[in-house]
Structure 1
């Protein structure tokens, strides 16, 4: 009999058995990825489109093309589509990214036979009604006007522009871009980059009928395999910059500090991710303790590794009291310098490792998160061995390893910095 007065013995995790997505191809060559898991009768069908900002002939064409897919087809109006989706308790989401875009259907397993044909119709027969385009354009112009009053939005945009000038990674959205979009731009992007140019990812507790319906409705279309080839647009090297943008109406400052780094395929990526965790990757990190808890300059400060297909960057972000922003920046650089000159104490490193491992384990508990783990490696050109390497590196990385990594990558002289907000109040004598 189990003695529940005693805590179970703690044991190190030496192996993570991730349930893996399986892949086959439909008759027309479209890749079909699937993972059956979970107990609830719910499925997600996601179309992975190998297109985004990189493919645009006109800026914002991908956003508007994806955003209007469910606003009307050859046989249904946007209102009829919305009513049908609501009637079956389903949900359709679209997302236009830099390198990839997605169209997702969430529904009950029993309704897949009805809704899969609708999903196919959206991506194959959307007509992009002009009136709906104008409504979406008006909404985006309004959102842009509001966002430009937010220091965090301006800081984020300007920081990416600093790292990636004249490159899709850093190009901001402008009023001119939105106003210039027309229905023909959406039709062209759809025909060239969305229609029949996707892979299918099925996850959840689906049945044989779901698979049969996918093969029936998606397997007979004419595919365009050549259009899946990715064209590289290499970012040019840039010099670090420090910019301050005055926004007098702002109540506080928003800051960004960081630099371009490496992609997921680089051998140093894991060590940098672990080092980032120590600095600002979770609530118990050094930046949170120093800038938030000890100094009270902000409610939250974070550092993040942002990997992309062709490049990657690292960024510290925080919203800070205007009168404290300069001191906060100085303290941030002090914390970076400590990591470049002193080894991380073993106890602190172990705590960070346990947090990272715990977060990972909590992210593989349902079929949809397992599908996300698949995308996180597949779309970046690595396999499931990435997760085996993750666990091995987590156990074996030493304070000496991270000290060397910090010295190699985190020289403050190579970092860019952007601050937006009001000018700090001058100190009175």
Structure 2
């Protein structure tokens, strides 16, 4: 009985205690402790190289990371040469060609990377001396081989071409040009012309001018002690000659005098890529950095952010809406972004501005702030488990003249941020009155609804201001069938097309320095075979015998749906447009003409029996097909345009075929040129057999 009385008393006491706690409020966080940052050693060579050593013997590996600190460089009409120079540094030395260099690296299980301001090498700590020797050779003796330069230059140009239709790549290019201006190093845009202007001497001059030890930091991380590390650095880098490095100053970019709505017109777009932002002055170490991290986490730092909850979960305008910012010694930025459907572009911008107003005008609540602090604190704590983090902290402290306790008091300063601090930095760094609103999308669908947000200007994909696109109208009496019939006549007419019994058509394209070969074979009336290979490896094989189809990806058989089969019976004609006109199950619709490269193009929408849609564009003067676009579902469920552009035609047996085209390769594209095109040749009919 006594035990029961004691238990009852405890229950009553606990009930009283619980009743005294207000569960509707977040508990007040306790004081944040100082963080213990792992110890590191540092020394400086006579040539000015600053070295930081972070010993960690948990794993028998070591890494050497050199960072070269220079002012940003305005590259002018040779934009892109600094990046190419950085890659060239790792293409061989005066003592070892590239093959020898990387053979030695791989033999000891190492890894080597270079860029315009860094050299990184890592491997097993037993090979520390060899790793340091190879790294020093790369740092001091790059050979700048001309063949590697030509290859890198070609790859850079191919990369530009591949991304010319990618809305994300377009947004990144144009956004920086708008925010910083093209006379600022952060606003420069690489173009085919600027890349063509680059010479090998430009790359050599960059290295000889800026790659100096007295502006460099070397972080050594891993299973190595201070004295061994110091001995290796002195042995291999003490003779690296220091030199005077030029400094550069630039005018600080300013926001537009009034809100700017910048549109990059993409006729095939069914979505608008939105970016809303402004430049900010926020150097590393500024007291506002941590409150701004918290503000950004609350506003748009992931799926818990206000932007995400509003635009995705509440309004269903997008699959994701986010914000971010940068801290930089020169100039940084604040940006918010989302991909939204054309029809809700203006509504999405309204919601962005609403959320900006909300976080600027009203203090955040304690729950949001508490959750943001927990998230950032957790990320910071987890990062300390990596010795590379300690190296980064050490170098940042030296580079940006941070206080010695900047990182050890990080959590304490983070925890001290108040709702007033969050509101203050929101007001300071979100310029809602003079924003730059960038829309990469279809102007005809969105422009008229965007005038309420500010002055509308149009830009090309390189960030140059251009005239507004011309809005064309179809001539009276024009029909979709007439457009297709005119196209058939323009390429040679039905009679000439009927004379072609078979066709062999081989195209090649280059992507990331690799050659892709696309071989197409056709036999009347609608048999076809297509193979796609890269560097001798078969990627895709598709065969249609007129009734049945087989499809293989890298040798693995893929399912073929009934819809695919029915569509193939129509699409596999030599000129599918003839079948589109004849087949009653195919729907044709004439849409508004579009401006393509400054010319009017008639637009025909084709709906296949399966319900799949494609859009075809025909030059209003020549009748030739200049473009076609279909749409695929992206990784987040968004609709991604896949466009083929027809750039050049050649006549074969009285029929014109497009021998130079731009083909889609995922989000990127590549230019495909015809290697072989032959009609009415000896052809093995067994190639069209479906197994």
Same fold by TM-score greater than 0.5? yes
CA, structure 1 residues 251+363, in 2 after alignment: closer, same or farther (shift >3 Å)? Answer: farther
Equivalences for residues 85-96 of structure 1 within 5 A: 85-96=105-116
- Conserved 8 A contact 1:85-1:91: yes
- Conserved 8 A contact 1:344-1:399: yes
* CA distance in 2: counterparts of 1:194 and 1:39, whole angstroms: 33
2:91 to 50, 71, 86: 71
CA apart distance, 1:285: 1.1
Matched residue, 1:159 = 175
- Conserved 8 A contact 1:53-1:60: no
Q: Secondary structure at the match of 1:382?
A: coil
Matched residue, 1:242 = 261
Count, aligned residues: 412
Query: Are 2:162 and 1:142 equivalent residues in the alignment?
Result: no
CA apart distance, 1:423: 4.0
CA, structure 1 residues 162+56, in 2 after alignment: closer, same or farther (shift >3 Å)? Answer: closer
2:44 to 18, 22, 25: 25
Matched residue, 1:181 = 198
CA apart distance, 1:136: 0.6
Matched residue, 2:58 = 39
Matched residue, 1:199 = 217
* CA distance in 2: counterparts of 1:176 and 1:310, whole angstroms: 27
Matched residue, 2:241 = 222
Query: Are 2:270 and 1:254 equivalent residues in the alignment?
Result: no
* Larger relative contact order (Cα-Cα within 8 Å, sequence gap ≥ 6): 1
* CA distance in 1: counterparts of 2:237 and 2:267, whole angstroms: 54
CA, structure 1 residues 195+389, in 2 after alignment: closer, same or farther (shift >3 Å)? Answer: closer
* CA distance in 2: counterparts of 1:296 and 1:41, whole angstroms: 50
Matched residue, 2:250 = 233
Q: Please, what is the CA RMSD of the aligned residues? A: 2.3
- Conserved 8 A contact 1:262-1:269: no
More helix by share: 1
Matched residue, 1:341 = 361
- After TM superposition, the structure 1 stretch with the greater mean CA deviation from structure 2, 205-214 or 142-151, is 205-214
Q: Secondary structure at the match of 1:414?
A: coil
Query: Are 2:442 and 1:422 equivalent residues in the alignment?
Result: yes
CA apart distance, 1:230: 4.1
Deviations 1:100-145 (A, max 9, x none): x111111111112112111111121111111111111111111111
* CA distance in 1: counterparts of 2:332 and 2:274, whole angstroms: 19
Deviations 1:318-367 (A, max 9, x none): 22233332221111111111112222111111011111111111111111
Matched residue, 1:267 = 287
CA, structure 1 residues 337+233, in 2 after alignment: closer, same or farther (shift >3 Å)? Answer: same
More strand by share: 2
- Conserved 8 A contact 2:272-2:339: yes
Unaligned regions of 5+ residues in structure 1, if any? Answer: 1-9
* CA distance in 1: counterparts of 2:251 and 2:62, whole angstroms: 37
CA, structure 1 residues 381+154, in 2 after alignment: closer, same or farther (shift >3 Å)? Answer: farther
Q: Bigger radius of gyration, 1 or 2?
A: 2
* CA distance in 2: counterparts of 1:267 and 1:230, whole angstroms: 26
- After TM superposition, the structure 1 stretch with the greater mean CA deviation from structure 2, 178-187 or 393-402, is 393-402
Matched residue, 1:84 = 104
Unaligned regions of 5+ residues in structure 2, if any? Answer: 1-28, 450-691
CA apart distance, 1:403: 2.2
